[in-house]
Structure 1
Amino acid sequence: MDLMSGHYNYLGISPNSESERHYNPFAYEIQDTLLLMDAGYFNIDYCYQADKHGGHVIMRTNGKINPDIKAAFDSQGLAIEGLIGKKLKQLKWHREQIIDLDVQWKSKPGTHRLIAFWDRNKSAIGYLITNLKRAQFSADKVSELYGLRWQIELFFKELKSYSGLKTFNTRDKSIAESLVWASMLTLLLKRFIARASGLIHQVTISTQKVARCANDWLPDILKALLSGREYRIKKTLRKWCRYFSEYACRAHPKRDNQTLFVQLTETHV
């Protein structure tokens, strides 16, 4: 998924038992790109290769890792000498604490930056691996950037709630795949119309509000497209873009403008 556009770049349909790692983009494909990855994708060799090819990653890890600590810093960037040479599992933890580490695996190449933090949702220590430079991105900023991955969860919520992904019931593999693709394409069209409306009228549009009322506007636009008449298509698109600019704006634009997601993705206020 491309965070900046809100659209997906690649979709693979596979059994739930198959490993997510099989669907990682190749390391050479993410040059000058920041990739946010969940723990299911964790692979330290992949992090090393991505760094070699000029890509950037923030990747969550599982709690089973235990590399050697080569350097340690607190949230203010001050060195913590007492942790050097210890194993990660020897780390003594205080809630609300963030520790910024350089770590190594004996059997793996490279030195890696690891941020340890208290995960309130799981009541356990969470770990993030990244190759973002400490001088440019503090541990807090890296954690904030990783939080942008929540947009993936909102993407799937929109698919299930407003694009019919969970409403079909079939055991036929071909039909199931076709319906998944139909849901994804419908979502893309709705998000494209929502974003275009915002850009045209210089307002911040809520994609969820646009998706919620799709039964009212989507058939109208599709009928216009099927007619093939340029005048009708333009008239219909103008009507609904104007409608969204009046009734589908974000409920709290001033508050939302303070969030990192809106600051990165919106080109207007």
Structure 2
Amino acid sequence: MQRLNSEVFNEGVLDKLAKTSGAIKRVRKITGSQLADLLMFDAGESLNGMSMQLTLRHGLSISKQALHQKFNKDMVSFMKQIFETLIAVELPDQEIQGLDITIKDATRFALPDCMVEELPGLAGSGMKAGAAVQFEFGLKSGKASIGLTAARVNDQSESRRDQQEVRSGELYLRDLGYAHIGYMNNIDKQSAFFVNKLNPQTLVYTQCNGFYELLDLDLIRGITDMQVYIGKEKLPVRLIIEPVDEVVKASRIERVNKYNKKKGLTTSDRFKQRAGFNFIISNLDKDVYETLLLQKLYHLRWQVELVFKAWKSLMKLHVMGTGCVHRIWCKLYGKLIWVMLGWKITMSVGKVGQISLLKMYGMIASTREALRQQVWKINDNWIELVSRVPITKLLKEQRKGRLKIEEIILSI
């Protein structure tokens, strides 16, 4: 917290950012830190409510009309610079045993229609304007990066932008949307590793006497771990096949049938057969990493869904309200600053697998005003308040008969 206070939430730093961005063009009665305080903690208020908060907290008298005029491209630039400054403050380096496991996914949400030119929504979904927050983090290191795109940008496009950032010796867990063959081939070439599901449209081949043959699923009995070749490139991968029960299979077919009916299409027999299995692919060595471990590793990807659940249910990331385009942009960056501040605090307490993300974010959300005063160094009440909470209250609860997430992470 001390480092965040000195490098981000510091009057000198914020006043400088306000001036370089143009949010404050000359010496005015409102400072950069006061603007940041308003947009981080009170952006959900009406203009009149924000004006009242400035009076109550800082003794400033600024009309709602004057505040409205402040929401321009310079104010957006100011909030963006604060966000980027916060992201640049990295957690201390720690010695990592084994492979670091990096997870990335995106959460999407609708924005007011006035943002349609800035951030177009998902085509065909009824969402005219929308944002996609791309979040990546290391399960062992806790280090994270976050980006903002239009909701319309698909995950495969995002994974192509990531190609230059693949780090040798790391394990990448990705949702199906990111996992095209080019992505996996690039990771393999960089001496890194991947575990992800196989796209249902990707052809799978086995090799016999130097010839490639399509995988025959009729021969699969139980969980199978085998060497296969995928796509027209015949990329060699390790494939784990998990049969699913008839209820799951029927649900998958029903969902695709419903979609195809709207499009005037027919569900293929090949899809119906593949709907009876889960397919997990990887380039991890079968002799080193057993089948059961890979199955459990893939399911660690759901940790990012818990992050998004905390951000939306507890931090209200997706709740934007109304306003002009520039005001919505400021709210958006204010929300991103807020959730990343929560992430950095959480990772300073413990790592994913130890700490319950929902419990930690719940505590941060419920002590919001005390944290605000801690951020601006008004007092140290928040530190004192949370120090009363036993660490056991924030730990993940272990379900009987299940391997702890921390044990799965440390096993690789």
Distance 1:259 1:172, change over 3 A: farther
Question: Could you tell me which residue of structure 2 aligns to residue 189 of structure 1?
Answer: 341
Question: Which of 369, 378, 387 is 1:219 aligned to?
Answer: 369
Distance (Å, rounded) in 2 between the aligned partners of 1:198 and 1:103: 39
Compute the displacement of 1:253 (Å).
5.4
Distance (Å, rounded) in 2 between the aligned partners of 1:131 and 1:207: 30
What stretches of structure 1 of length at least 5 have no aligned partner? 72-80
Question: Could you tell me which residue of structure 2 aligns to residue 98 of structure 1?
Answer: 223
Deviations 1:26-64 (A, max 9, x none): 155231111111111121122122111111111212222
Distance 1:253 1:243, change over 3 A: farther
Compute the displacement of 1:218 (Å).
2.5
Checking the alignment, whether the CA contact within 8 Å between 2:197 and 2:281 is kept in structure 1 is yes
Question: What letter matches 1:18 in structure 2?
Answer: V
The yes-or-no answer on 1:61 pairing with 2:198 is yes
Distance (Å, rounded) in 1 between the aligned partners of 2:190 and 2:226: 23
SS of the equivalent of 1:9 reads strand
Distance (Å, rounded) in 2 between the aligned partners of 1:148 and 1:237: 32
Question: Which of 231, 234, 242 is 2:387 aligned to?
Answer: 242
The yes-or-no answer on 1:21 pairing with 2:156 is yes
The residue correspondences of 1:172-183 to structure 2 (distance < 5 A) are 173-183=325-335
Deviations 1:155-191 (A, max 9, x none): 1111110111233234755444443433333223223
Distance (Å, rounded) in 2 between the aligned partners of 1:226 and 1:5: 27
Distance (Å, rounded) in 1 between the aligned partners of 2:176 and 2:391: 40
The residue correspondences of 1:244-263 to structure 2 (distance < 5 A) are 244-245=389-390, 248-250=393-395, 252=397, 258-261=403-406
User: TM-score, normalised to structure 1's length?
Assistant: 0.75
Question: Could you tell me which residue of structure 2 aligns to residue 87 of structure 1?
Answer: 214
Checking the alignment, whether the CA contact within 8 Å between 1:12 and 1:23 is kept in structure 2 is no
Compute the displacement of 1:12 (Å).
2.8
Checking the alignment, whether the CA contact within 8 Å between 1:13 and 1:177 is kept in structure 2 is no
Distance (Å, rounded) in 1 between the aligned partners of 2:346 and 2:402: 18
Distance (Å, rounded) in 2 between the aligned partners of 1:119 and 1:177: 44
Question: What letter matches 2:303 in structure 1?
Answer: Q
The yes-or-no answer on 1:49 pairing with 2:201 is no
Question: What letter matches 1:219 in structure 2?
Answer: E
Q: How many residues align?
A: 242
Deviations 1:126-153 (A, max 9, x none): 2122110111112221111000000111
Distance (Å, rounded) in 1 between the aligned partners of 2:406 and 2:330: 32
Distance (Å, rounded) in 1 between the aligned partners of 2:401 and 2:340: 23
The yes-or-no answer on 1:207 pairing with 2:357 is yes
RMSD: 3.3
Distance (Å, rounded) in 1 between the aligned partners of 2:391 and 2:196: 39
Checking the alignment, whether the CA contact within 8 Å between 1:35 and 1:58 is kept in structure 2 is yes
Bigger radius of gyration among the two = 2
SS of the equivalent of 1:113 reads strand
Distance (Å, rounded) in 2 between the aligned partners of 1:51 and 1:111: 10
Question: Could you tell me which residue of structure 1 aligns to residue 284 of structure 2?
Answer: 132
Question: Could you tell me which residue of structure 1 aligns to residue 241 of structure 2?
Answer: 116
Distance 1:69 1:176, change over 3 A: farther
What stretches of structure 2 of length at least 5 have no aligned partner? 1-135, 250-274
Distance (Å, rounded) in 1 between the aligned partners of 2:329 and 2:172: 27
Question: Which of 137, 150, 155 is 2:302 aligned to?
Answer: 150
Distance (Å, rounded) in 1 between the aligned partners of 2:233 and 2:243: 26
Checking the alignment, whether the CA contact within 8 Å between 1:102 and 1:113 is kept in structure 2 is yes
Distance 1:257 1:172, change over 3 A: farther
Question: What letter matches 1:211 in structure 2?
Answer: Y
Question: What letter matches 2:185 in structure 1?
Answer: Y
Question: What letter matches 1:51 in structure 2?
Answer: D
Distance 1:87 1:174, change over 3 A: farther
User: TM-score, normalised to structure 2's length?
Assistant: 0.51
Distance (Å, rounded) in 1 between the aligned partners of 2:384 and 2:296: 38
Distance (Å, rounded) in 1 between the aligned partners of 2:375 and 2:296: 41
